[in-house]
Amino acid sequence: MRYLALAALTSVATADYVWPGPNDHMEDLLYLQSGFNRFGFVDGILSCAFGQNVRGRQNSAEWIRTAYHDMSTADVDAGTGGLDASIMFETMRDENKGSAFNNTFGHLHSFHTTRSTGADLLALAVVGSMSVCGGHDVPLRVGRIDATEAGRTGVPEPQQDLETHTKMFAMQGFNQTEMIELVACGHTLGGVHHEDFPEITGDDTEGNVTAFEYDDSQFTFDNKVVTEYLANKTSNPLVSGANDTMNSDKRIFAADGGATMRALSDATHFQSRCATLMARMIDTVPSTVTLSEPLTPIDVKPYVNTLALNANGTVDFSGYVRVHYGGDTGRSADDLSASITYVNRAGKTVSKPVQAVRPTWRDGTATGFGGISFVFFEWDTQVDAEEGISAFNIFVTTKSTNETVEYDNGGKGFPVKDTVLFQQKQSCQTFTQNESGGYDGSLTIAAAVRDDAIDNTSASELALHYAMHVPQGAVLERLETQVEPFVQTEQKIAGYTLFEVKNMAINDKSDSTTFDISLGGETAVEFQKTGALSQESCVPLVQ
Ligand code: HEM
Ligand SMILES: *[C@@H]1O[C@H](CO)[C@@H](O)[C@H](O)[C@H]1NC(C)=O
Ligand SMILES: *[C@@H]1O[C@H](CO)[C@@H](O)[C@H](O)[C@H]1NC(C)=O
Ligand SMILES: *[C@@H]1O[C@H](CO)[C@@H](O)[C@H](O)[C@H]1NC(C)=O
Ligand SMILES: *[C@@H]1O[C@H](CO)[C@@H](O)[C@H](O)[C@H]1NC(C)=O
Ligand SMILES: *[C@@H]1O[C@H](CO)[C@@H](O)[C@H](O)[C@H]1NC(C)=O
Ligand SMILES: *[C@@H]1O[C@H](CO)[C@@H](O)[C@H](O)[C@H]1NC(C)=O
Ligand SMILES: *[C@@H]1O[C@H](CO)[C@@H](O)[C@H](O)[C@H]1NC(C)=O
Ligand SMILES: *[C@@H]1O[C@H](CO)[C@@H](O)[C@H](O)[C@H]1NC(C)=O
Ligand SMILES: *[C@@H]1O[C@H](CO)[C@@H](O)[C@H](O)[C@H]1NC(C)=O
């Protein structure tokens, strides 16, 4: 975004993004890989070769193969299948040999929430792998829905003939040219494992691996898979394997007489075709799914970390302002400062600007896939509970020019709802070992509700919406919303009454999940993480 500083204070009038947005969490997973406030999806692909030091394991390759196998049972004419994570129910099929699929979902597991489906995470896994391995950027669209059971069979296998493969790819929506391209793009990484396909590698030594290529290029997203093939020097076991029946890449690469492979010998063309086709691969979804526009880094994005009542009648209000810098933003992290102002319940600006401070931890900066950089500023203030808060605005100053830009979220400010406050310190979860050696969990969630809101709505309509993890015979559990009514307590402070859901039984798979709180059927508190709760005991709110 560019603007001219005509006055000391510039207002950003047109903001296409309005906070909070439905894809905020996926945007965090995509762009906050390392540094301050990192979400850490990259930890599974610290390098393109990374595989937790397990011999022959390359996570980037496993993730891309998993995405392809998941997508490959799509029937685009019928609008069924595609990237829907159904592969997690299909790992015992002959067409899905190896541990790659469960390994992949094992990584996705800790990122699986009500705002990040398994299928969207699998798409992110492809985007991240391409980025880490040196491919061109693949845009990430989100909104995929997870299958709840296995889908049809039909993943291509090496012993099948060219006609079968061509038909299978056509069903997936790829013509002959695109089939050749997608296979070449997929098979630039990783290899054929002896333990999965000894009949191809001719070696059944357990745990051994044969790469598609001899050199380190299996760890780089490059077109050697093409150039070595064209030079008749390929080590690709699906081209030069001893048993010709299993040489499916040989048949596919030669399907059009070599024209597509010759075109792919141009490195730039290869990269551009691979990024396009990988995007099409992950965007092949059931017709019932509507994908978002590709995610782009949100320019200035706030995070409210705390909005909770204190015993003395103040409300803790803390959070971060995240500012995109570098690239074509024209911003330099060290030349920025930030502050906020907030508006009370009656709509009046009550405070002088609250300075947001750049954290010292990791310099307050973070980076994501695609080299996108952000700098954070942290605010921590207290609001008078009687006056309340309804919105805040953000001010970002360029220190060298003293130019300040106001961000008001498209005019109305960044909204804050203070009718229901989640009392994190008064909430907790514990796990105790039971007689059969498992763990039984107990969850307590406290909330403060404004008395005038209770007057309007029956208090019994205050409900916890808890994302319970329910085992479903796959690595990812099903997220089932459990609705639990809150119970009113005797405690009243500064126009608020405390409510709680006390000692709700939870299973050991749900130790790190999320919940919402609704009042009178409307969401009042959103997407709070239970992983942040005390494992000890709830701290009472004492006056
Ligand atoms: C006719 C189509 C295809 C056949 C028959 C085929 C077959 C195979 C076989 C047999 C392996 C070895 C798996 C192992 O030992 O773990 C493999 C690996 C792999 N395939 Fe394919 N494949 C096809 C298409 C694709 C496509 C379209 C992609 C992605 C765009 C892809 C991505 C990969 C990757 C990344 C690996 C390496 C996995 C690793 O190293 O763990 N494949 N493929
Ligand atoms: C496949 O589709 C692309 C894009 O429409 C086209 O350029 C290409 O010629 C097609 N290939 C075949 C074999 O039809
Ligand atoms: C593993 O594979 C490599 C390459 O194919 C081969 O040289 C080696 O003998 C195999 N066995 C072991 C135990 O490494
Ligand atoms: C590779 O082998 C094919 C078939 O044997 C031959 O036509 C082609 O000229 C060879 N290419 C090179 C670069 O040697
Ligand atoms: C080659 O592979 C096919 C398909 O798996 C198999 O039926 C055949 O017996 C194999 N041939 C040899 C010589 O191993
Ligand atoms: C109110 O309580 C909070 C939390 O204990 C404390 O940080 C704050 O300083 C207190 N404010 C006043 C005005 O006493
Ligand atoms: C920015 O404003 C401060 C205080 O108003 C002033 O001291 C400083 O000289 C100004 N800097 C520039 C570059 O205008
Ligand atoms: C013990 O905990 C496990 C794991 O959470 C659970 O599946 C099992 O039902 C519990 N057993 C008893 C006797 O409560
Ligand atoms: C409660 O209802 C009154 C009257 O309809 C309204 O003015 C007030 O804003 C409502 N309070 C809340 C918190 O919704
Ligand atoms: C993958 O994990 C699921 C669920 O734990 C399990 O049922 C399945 O057998 C596993 N598949 C493989 C190939 O190990």
Nearest atom in ligand 1 to the alpha carbon of residue 60 is 35
Tell me which residue has its CA closest to atom 4 in ligand 4.
232
- Among left, alpha and beta (phi > 0; psi -120 to 50; other), residue 211 is beta
Residues 278-325 have pLDDT tens digits of 999 999 999 999 999 999 999 999 999 999 999 999 999 999 999 999
**Do 394 and 470 fall into the same domain?**
no
**Do 90 and 230 fall into the same domain?**
yes
Ligand 3 contact via 103 beta carbon (within 6 Å):
no
Give residue 6's pLDDT band: very low, low, confident or very high (50, 70, 90): very low
Tell me which residue has its CA closest to atom 1 in ligand 3.
208
**Do 412 and 466 fall into the same domain?**
no
Asked whether the predicted pLDDT for residue 261 surpasses 90, the reply is yes
**Do 305 and 445 fall into the same domain?**
no
Looking at residue 245, which CATH number applies to its domain? 1.10.520.10
| Between residues 212 and 542, the one the model is more confident about | 542
Say if strands 9-11 and 403-407 run parallel, antiparallel, or are unpaired: parallel
Looking at residue 483, which CATH number applies to its domain? 2.60.40
Lowest mean pLDDT among 61-75, 135-149, 181-195, 269-283: 181-195
Lowest mean pLDDT among 204-213, 377-386, 513-522: 204-213
DSSP string, 56-78: T--HHHHHHHHHHHHHTT-BTTT
What 3-state class would DSSP assign to 119?
helix
Give residue 56's pLDDT band: very low, low, confident or very high (50, 70, 90): confident
Tell me which residue has its CA closest to atom 9 in ligand 7.
402
Residues 337-381 have pLDDT tens digits of 999 999 999 999 987 899 999 999 999 999 998 889 999 999 999
Model pTM score: 0.94
Gap between the Cα atoms of 454 and 276, Å rounded: 53
Ligand 9 contact via 522 beta carbon (within 6 Å):
no
CA-CA-CA-CA torsion sign (25, 28, 33, 38):
negative
**Do 257 and 110 fall into the same domain?**
yes
| Between residues 454 and 499, the one the model is more confident about | 499
As a whole number, mean pLDDT of residues 439-455 equals: 94
Give residue 213's pLDDT band: very low, low, confident or very high (50, 70, 90): low
**Do 247 and 365 fall into the same domain?**
no
> What's the 199 CA to ligand 5 centre distance in angstroms?
8
Ligand 3 contact via 203 beta carbon (within 6 Å):
yes
- Please give the DSSP secondary-structure letter assigned to residue 360: S
pLDDT given at position 53: 87
Range of the domain at 62: 24-282
Tell me which residue has its CA closest to atom 13 in ligand 4.
231
Residues 503-535 have pLDDT tens digits of 999 999 999 999 999 999 999 999 999 999 998
**Do 305 and 267 fall into the same domain?**
no
Asked whether the predicted pLDDT for residue 13 surpasses 50, the reply is no
Asked whether the predicted pLDDT for residue 90 surpasses 50, the reply is yes
Looking at every residue in the chain, the average pLDDT score rounds to: 93
**Do 390 and 453 fall into the same domain?**
no
In a domain, 291, yes or no: no
pLDDT given at position 519: 94
pLDDT given at position 204: 64
> What's the 231 CA to ligand 4 centre distance in angstroms?
7
Ligand 6 contact via 310 beta carbon (within 6 Å):
yes
Asked whether the predicted pLDDT for residue 543 surpasses 90, the reply is no
Give residue 460's pLDDT band: very low, low, confident or very high (50, 70, 90): low
Ligand 3 contact via 208 beta carbon (within 6 Å):
yes
For a substitution probing ligand 2, which of 165, 178, 272 has the most ligand atoms within 8 Å of its CB? 178
Tell me which residue has its CA closest to atom 13 in ligand 9.
453
> What's the 448 CA to ligand 9 centre distance in angstroms?
17
CA-CA-CA-CA torsion sign (295, 297, 298, 301):
positive
